[in-house]
Amino acid sequence: MYKMIVSDLDETLLNDNHEICERNKEAIKKATEMGVKFVPATGRGYWAIQNVLRDLDLLQKKDEYVISFNGCALIENFSNGTLFFNGLSFEKADELFKYGLDKDVCIHIYTPDTVYLYNLNEDEKNRFINQNNEFVELKGASIDFLKDTPIAKIIYQSLDIPYLMSIGEGMKAITDEVISVSYSSNRYLELNKYGVNKGDALIHLAEMVGVKIEETIAVGDNYNDMSMLKVAGLSVAAGNAVDGVKEACDYVCKNDNNQGVLAEVIEKFILK
C-alpha cells in the first residue's frame, strides 16, 4: 500500500493554464481521505504555490508539507515553518548571476519569499502573470543588495533548450561538484547547491513522517524530477514527459497534464 505521493506541479499536476483539473482534485481528495499524504514537489517557492495548496485543501493544514526550490527547502504547511533550507552562498550565487549576464537568457534569483528577474522577456513575464506569481524586475546588473539574504537557486530561462544545454556544458568549470544542474519546463536551466534535489528531500521527508521509501510514489515530467523518480517506490512519468524521464520510470501515464495525470495514478495504484 502506498502512503505518500510526491508530485511535480508545472506540466504534471497543473494543466497548460496552470490549473488543477477537477478530475485531479477529486482523485487527490479521495486519496487523502484514505490517509495517503500528497506532497507537492516544485521548483517554485512555497509562497508561490499558495493557490495550489488552497485548491487541494492543504493550505495551513497540520502534518502536510511542500518540497520547494527543487529540494532546497522543506516547509510545513500549518505553521508555514521552514524545516530545512539548503541554499547557495552569496558568492556562488553572484558568480552564477554574472556568468549569465552575457548570455541570451532571463536570469531568475530566488530568495525564500521573492523572485527577482533580470533581462525579462515578454514570454517569461506572461508566464509569471498567468501563474499568479509575483516577481521583482531587476534593472541593474548586480545582486549586491542580496548579500545578507538567503538565496535558494539561480535559473537561466530560454525557449531554446539546445542553447540552454550548451550553456550548462560550458559552465562546468564553475559548477562541477559545487552546483546541481538540472532542466525543467522545457525552458529552464536550474542551478541549486550541489546535492540539493527533490530525491534527497523526498527521502528526508519520508523518514521524518515514518513512511518507508518503497511506500512512496513520485510523479514528474522533466529532468529536475529524475532524482525523486529514481528513489521512490514507484516512479511515474506524465504522458507529456520528456523521453528521458519516460524511459526511467516504472509507469508512463496515458494522460498528459491536461487530462489528469494524478487522477490516472491514483485510480490505478491507490483506489484499486
Which CA distances in Å does 174 have to 43, 45, 103? 22, 25, 16
Percent of the chain with pLDDT over 90: 98
Region 194-218 average pLDDT: 97
Task: Return the biggest CA–CA distance within the chain.
Answer: 55
Region 7-27 average pLDDT: 97
Residue 202 has pLDDT above 90, yes or no: yes
| pLDDT for the residue 132 | 87
Under 8 Å between Cβ of 216 and 2 = yes
| pLDDT for the residue 272 | 81
Mean pLDDT, all residues of the chain: 97
Residue 262 has pLDDT above 90, yes or no: yes
Region 55-59 average pLDDT: 96
| pLDDT for the residue 10 | 95
Instruction: Give pLDDT tens digits for 74-114.
Output: 999 999 999 999 999 999 999 999 999 999 999 999 999 99
Under 8 Å between Cβ of 187 and 53 = no
| pLDDT for the residue 31 | 97
| One-character DSSP codes across 214-264 | GGEEEEESSGGGHHHHHHSSEEEE-TT--HHHHHH-SEE-SS-TTT-HHHH
Domains and CATH numbers, the chain: 4-85+196-270 (3.40.50.1000), 90-193 (3.30.1240.10)
